[in-house]
């Protein structure tokens, strides 16, 4: 049989194995070697094609912008002088040592670019399984992650398998996301500050209407205005948080513009009311802009939960429940001991990987990376839950942020059309990754040599 014929036969058979669930997606490279003698580096291209074909057949969407690299693997080089092995993308032509710039020895050893590689020439996309969600949304999402090195995509895939096996992730996702900007004012005395607060409150309905007008494009609306009073030496500070809600957009730019507008209106109002202020500024420090505070008002709440009857949990996973629960407790308390208001474990890696794959706005996912985790027993069930209190996302390519054709393709393949679906898919993937990690660690399968 010619190699091309052999390749076609192997691809068809591997796609069928992937569909039946008998072949884990990250094992396709090995399967091509062991069953078809398709050796490295030839197996890498074929494995990527198998996974893509499988994804196309299960989602009905096509890969086009997310291309497979012409050499989808890495190559190992060794520098004698530095006694170090380096791994370079096989296309890379600058093969001198990154440290001493000397010549390196080509070891002729190949490895996958990332686990379950499916495409991407600059960012490497991994396939990380499919996950069913129920509750606020009923849907099955396909997971594509730009995760980089490591076993993360495999962990998410395994977690998805377990969650689907036990009926899917039960998700709760807010209908609206919040965006906030703060107007800060300083007064000479508590009395003037009180007067100012009263006149501002008296005009709030008027202000809100004008602000809504400023936020029409992305259909934003002021949802609340919160006052906070802080005294510092001779300064009497008044923080006015203008909070707006958005359905499908991030809204950060719009609320900023609207507050910039209303700040001028507030100043005019104070002037005509004869109320002196020492300073009037946009107070970014108080609006939860990228701050890990439990009072952070940005983004949208999303949670995902898995419930498994205790007996099934113990027999299926062959695990001591108490040990599992204690591990989660040790982990969460560890974060608390460090003074973190949130726990952030695998989520700290999965969230950026989803943001990188989809290039949604904001492209820096820091504010959305806060995460709470819970494990316990309720009514005879083991309950495992993660919460993302501040998922910030705009899924459309607009003035708010451009999304490249390849990232838009990723969104289509993943099955994400709305910001709410993005949040649901995100929290379900974090649940999968965290749950799998908790199992692996409490079964002492991880971090053991």
Binding footprint of Zn ion on the chain (CB under 5 A): 79, 81-82, 97, 99-100, 102
Instruction: Give the nearest distance from C-beta 77 to Zn ion in angstroms.
Output: 10
Instruction: Give the nearest distance from C-beta 76 to Zn ion in angstroms.
Output: 14
Instruction: Give the nearest distance from C-beta 256 to Zn ion in angstroms.
Output: 48
Length of the chain: 449
Whose structure tokens read 């050893």?
109
Pick between residue 62 and residue 101 the one whose CB is nearest to Zn ion: 101
81: closest CA among 106, 93, 94, 99? 99
The Cα 423–Cα 391 span in angstroms is 6
Pick between residue 97 and residue 121 the one whose CB is nearest to Zn ion: 97
- 169 within 8 A of 428, measured Cβ to Cβ: yes
**5: exposed, middle or buried (Cβ count in 10 Å: 0-12, 13-18, 19+):** exposed
The Cα 178–Cα 181 span in angstroms is 10
**239: exposed, middle or buried (Cβ count in 10 Å: 0-12, 13-18, 19+):** middle
- 433 within 8 A of 346, measured Cβ to Cβ: yes
Instruction: Give the nearest distance from C-beta 79 to Zn ion in angstroms.
Output: 3
The counts of H helices and E strands in the chain are 12, 14
Strand, helix or coil for residue 111:
strand
Instruction: Give the nearest distance from C-beta 105 to Zn ion in angstroms.
Output: 11
The Cα 373–Cα 123 span in angstroms is 29
The Cα 52–Cα 59 span in angstroms is 10
Instruction: Give the nearest distance from C-beta 82 to Zn ion in angstroms.
Output: 4
Output the CA torsion sign for 417, 420, 422, 428. Answer: negative
Pick between residue 78 and residue 317 the one whose CB is nearest to Zn ion: 78
Pick between residue 80 and residue 278 the one whose CB is nearest to Zn ion: 80
Pick between residue 81 and residue 191 the one whose CB is nearest to Zn ion: 81
Where does 60-103 show beta strands of DSSP type E? 73-79, 84-89
As given in the structure block, the two tokens for residue 60 are: 């009905």
Instruction: Give the nearest distance from C-beta 84 to Zn ion in angstroms.
Output: 7
Instruction: Give the nearest distance from C-beta 86 to Zn ion in angstroms.
Output: 9
Kind and range of the H or E run holding 45: helix 42-59
Whose CB is nearest to Zn ion?
97
Pick between residue 91 and residue 101 the one whose CB is nearest to Zn ion: 101
Instruction: Give the nearest distance from C-beta 95 to Zn ion in angstroms.
Output: 12
The Cα 41–Cα 90 span in angstroms is 10
Pick between residue 100 and residue 310 the one whose CB is nearest to Zn ion: 100
Pick between residue 90 and residue 97 the one whose CB is nearest to Zn ion: 97
Pick between residue 99 and residue 310 the one whose CB is nearest to Zn ion: 99
């Amino acid at each position: 049989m010619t190699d091309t014929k052999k390749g076609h036969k192997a691809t068809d058979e591997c796609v069928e194995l992937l569909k039946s669930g008998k072949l884990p997606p990250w094992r396709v490279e090995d399967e091509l070697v062991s069953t078809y003698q398709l050796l490295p580096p030839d197996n890498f291209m074929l494995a990527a094609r198998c996974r893509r074909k499988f994804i196309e057949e299960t989602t009905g969407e096509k890969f086009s912008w997310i291309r497979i690299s012409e050499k989808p693997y890495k190559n190992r080089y060794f520098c004698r002088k530095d006694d170090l092995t380096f791994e370079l993308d096989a296309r890379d032509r600058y093969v001198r040592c990154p440290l001493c710039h000397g010549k390196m020895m080509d070891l002729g050893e190949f490895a996958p670019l990332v686990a379950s590689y499916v495409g991407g020439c600059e960012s490497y996309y991994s396939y990380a399984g499919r996950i069913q969600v129920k509750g606020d949304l009923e849907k099955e999402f396909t997971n594509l992650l730009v995760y980089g090195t490591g076993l993360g995509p495999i962990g998410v895939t395994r977690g998805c398998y377990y969650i689907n096996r036990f009926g899917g992730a039960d998700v709760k996702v807010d209908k609206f996301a919040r965006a906030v900007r703060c107007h800060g004012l300083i007064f000479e005395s508590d009395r003037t500050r009180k007067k100012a607060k009263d006149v501002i409150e008296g005009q709030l309905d008027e202000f809100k209407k004008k602000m809504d007008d400023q936020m029409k494009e992305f259909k934003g609306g002021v949802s609340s205005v919160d006052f906070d009073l802080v005294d510092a030496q001779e300064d009497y500070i008044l923080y006015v948080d203008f909070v707006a809600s958005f359905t499908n957009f991030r809204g950060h730019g719009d609320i900023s513009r609207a507050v910039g507008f209303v700040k001028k209106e507030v100043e005019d109002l104070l002037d005509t009311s004869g109320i002196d202020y020492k300073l009037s500024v946009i107070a970014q420090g108080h609006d939860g802009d990228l701050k890990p505070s439990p009072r952070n008002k940005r983004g949208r709440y999303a949670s995902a939960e898995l419930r498994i009857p205790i007996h099934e949990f113990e027999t299926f996973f062959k695990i001591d429940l108490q040990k599992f629960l204690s591990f989660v407790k040790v982990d969460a308390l560890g974060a608390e001991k460090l003074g973190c208001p949130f726990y952030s474990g695998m989520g700290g890696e999965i969230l950026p990987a989803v943001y990188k794959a989809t290039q949604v706005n904001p492209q820096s996912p820091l504010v959305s990376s806060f995460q709470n985790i819970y494990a316990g027993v309720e009514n005879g069930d083991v309950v495992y839950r993660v919460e993302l209190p501040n998922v910030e996302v705009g899924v459309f390519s607009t003035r708010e942020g451009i999304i490249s054709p390849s990232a838009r393709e990723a969104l289509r393949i993943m099955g994400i059309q709305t910001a709410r679906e993005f949040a649901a898919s995100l929290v379900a993937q974090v649940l999968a990754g965290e749950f799998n990690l908790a199992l692996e660690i409490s079964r002492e399968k991880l971090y053991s040599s």
